[in-house]
Structure 1
Amino acid sequence: MKTYIKTTWQITKYILIHFVIIMLYNFGAGAFYGVKMAMNDQLDEIESGIEAFLAPHTSISIIIAAIGAFLIYRYIMKRKNLNLYEECRFKKLSRGQTLASLSTGVSILSLSLLILGMTSFMFQESLDTHINNTHSLISVHPLLLIISVGIAAPFIEEILFRGLVFRELEQKSTIAITIIIQAIIFGAYHLNLAHGIMTTIMGIFLGLSLYWTGSIWAPILIHLTNNLLSVVLDLLGYGIFIETYPLADKAICGTAVLIVLPLSILYLYRSRITWEPKKVDEKTEIEKI
């Protein structure tokens, strides 16, 4: 029982590090905005302008949290006499695995949209909140959006969930349970029911890609490609294309979900390696934080 409590604490600690950095930055930005408006005698306009003010700061907080959390995670591992890159399995992928990961990331975006559409019947309010949050992010400078949502977020989230969380879980449970639990935690972390269901399913694919390749680069490439493509399509106004050519959009999504995704997943499965679980000797791992 004691070991499970310790594992839960370790996972919670890793998640809180990333979450708290984001919250502290956003709180500071919001406080600065409030003081600025008060000094200009514009208190009555705070509510109407806060969303526009915080939009770019949300992207900045994602970047700062990614950098800050990464440095702290590396420090924690170093204090334990461990190497973050080794513990998170930063291993080279083959060319085929790299291409399969990229195509999985592209095609899984269509699956994500399909899942969101299905959940909208049950969780419309939650989906509307997710859409509004997405639209507020899109209003910032394209480069800032690409760096934050397209690159920084997937990179640190994979280190967190497919790296550190996965590492803790696999030491105490089977690989199947590990993949399921880390996916559920990944979905819950997004704090939105509709989006959470989608990211939970995505988390299973990401966990499987790690298990089959033995490298965190596989889920990083899948996640990064998915986010980057989503951002670029939104910036290019893909919604207009959907409204103008709905049949073409359905054909593209159908091809991605029914052909490209299964073939990509099949390749990753067939090229799978022998899994090497992380077994930590608790006597030699020095816990200092």
Structure 2
Amino acid sequence: MKKFFSTVWSVLRYLLIYLGSSFIASMLMGAYFAFKYAGDADKIDEALQRNVLQLTGIISLISLVVFLVIVKFCHKSIKDFIQFKKMTFSDEVYCVGITIAFAFFSVSLINLVINIFPSYQQVSETFVTSMDNVVGILLAVILIPIFEEIFFRGIILNELQNRINTVASIIISSLIFALFHGNILQGIYTFIMGVLLSLVYIWTRSIWSAITFHITYNFLGTMVVPVIIYYTESFIVGYLIIGGLLTAVITYLMYKRNKNRNYEQQSMLKVQLYKRDI
């Protein structure tokens, strides 16, 4: 029971900090627009909708600073705990390959079922509105993905792995990642994405792999693949099937490569130990 509560608290404290940061940042931004537009409710609501990404960026920054203080206090080394390690070129290729395949799969899926999920349509429209300037694009494509990977993979996943098995850690952290996106359709594909991000992070032992994956996905998923599908809509089912199959195949190949690499490293370690003992 003690282990259960320890595991829950290891994750809950970060979630509470994020929610607290959200409340504070939302109140401050709401007060700013209320003052700027003299209490005009329609203009305030429009301004908040237009600045959703900016608000998320502020929340992320506040939360990240507090998160890193906690990590430093509890785990001493931020770099070692989150694993800011250099990626190999082959790891980068695998990550980008999985991302491209998954982007075609997920965007195709969204376009095929979006009419069933009106809540996602509203979220999508708000998101697009917030990306009508350079700051919004930088936040959506680069800065927010960096925060989310440090938060969900670098901190939440690692905290869970320190207490429970890896499979459960991946599922729980991916579920939290999905729930944070706030609607059913986005939750479905972000759960799958969370699992993929967790796997590449664990296999490469580097947060940069997850960050590379996430940034590439947000760029492709918002600015490239939707345009391709718009002009080639008749191929959308093909994109869905091929994208899904390639995602699975490339992920499996990366798994096999990681397994072989671990075997080679263990063999080298045994040889070194044997030479030392002679």
Does residue 78 (structure 1) correspond to residue 72 (structure 2)? The answer is: yes
Does residue 36 (structure 1) correspond to residue 36 (structure 2)? The answer is: yes
- Structure 1 residue 200: deviation in Å? 0.9
Q: Superposed, which structure 2 residues align to 1:178-217 within 5 Å?
A: 178-217=169-208
Closer/same/farther in 2, CA of residues 243 and 164 from structure 1, 3 Å limit? closer
Corresponding residue for residue 166 of structure 2: 175
Corresponding residue for residue 5 of structure 2: 5
- Structure 1 residue 80: deviation in Å? 2.6
Corresponding residue for residue 118 of structure 2: 125
Q: Superposed, which structure 2 residues align to 1:92-103 within 5 Å?
A: 92-103=86-97
Q: Once the two structures are aligned, what percentage of the paired residues are identical? A: 23
Corresponding residue for residue 256 of structure 2: 270
Kindly provide the amino acid, as one letter, of the partner of residue 110 in structure 2: L
CA RMSD after TM alignment: 2.6
Corresponding residue for residue 57 of structure 1: 51
Whole-angstrom distance in 2 between the partners of 1:74 and 1:127: 32
1:91 to 85, 89, 93: 85
- Structure 1 residue 222: deviation in Å? 1.0
Deviates more, 1:59-68 or 1:219-228: 59-68
Corresponding residue for residue 233 of structure 2: 246
Contact 1:116 1:127 in 2 (8 A): no
Contact 1:66 1:156 in 2 (8 A): yes
- Structure 1 residue 152: deviation in Å? 1.4
Corresponding residue for residue 134 of structure 1: 127
Whole-angstrom distance in 1 between the partners of 2:231 and 2:192: 30
Does residue 163 (structure 1) correspond to residue 158 (structure 2)? The answer is: no
Kindly provide the amino acid, as one letter, of the partner of residue 77 in structure 1: V
- Structure 1 residue 255: deviation in Å? 4.1
How many residues align structurally? 261
Q: Which structure has greater helix proportion? A: 2
Corresponding residue for residue 224 of structure 1: 215
- Structure 1 residue 188: deviation in Å? 0.8
Closer/same/farther in 2, CA of residues 245 and 79 from structure 1, 3 Å limit? closer
Gaps of 5+ in 1: 276-289
1:67 to 55, 61, 65: 61
Whole-angstrom distance in 1 between the partners of 2:179 and 2:208: 23
Corresponding residue for residue 15 of structure 1: 15
Kindly provide the amino acid, as one letter, of the partner of residue 185 in structure 1: I
Whole-angstrom distance in 2 between the partners of 1:155 and 1:60: 15
Closer/same/farther in 2, CA of residues 192 and 19 from structure 1, 3 Å limit? same
Q: Superposed, which structure 2 residues align to 1:101-116 within 5 Å?
A: 101-116=95-110
Gaps of 5+ in 2: 264-278
- Structure 1 residue 156: deviation in Å? 1.1
Corresponding residue for residue 278 of structure 1: none
Matched residue SS, 2:118: helix
Kindly provide the amino acid, as one letter, of the partner of residue 169 in structure 1: L
Contact 1:105 1:221 in 2 (8 A): no
TM (norm. structure 2) is 0.82
TM (norm. structure 1) is 0.80
Whole-angstrom distance in 1 between the partners of 2:123 and 2:49: 14
Contact 1:209 1:218 in 2 (8 A): yes
Contact 2:52 2:126 in 1 (8 A): no
Closer/same/farther in 2, CA of residues 132 and 146 from structure 1, 3 Å limit? closer
- Structure 1 residue 250: deviation in Å? 5.1
Closer/same/farther in 2, CA of residues 262 and 3 from structure 1, 3 Å limit? closer
Kindly provide the amino acid, as one letter, of the partner of residue 15 in structure 2: I
Closer/same/farther in 2, CA of residues 7 and 76 from structure 1, 3 Å limit? same
Whole-angstrom distance in 1 between the partners of 2:100 and 2:11: 29
- Structure 1 residue 180: deviation in Å? 0.9
2:144 to 141, 145, 153: 153
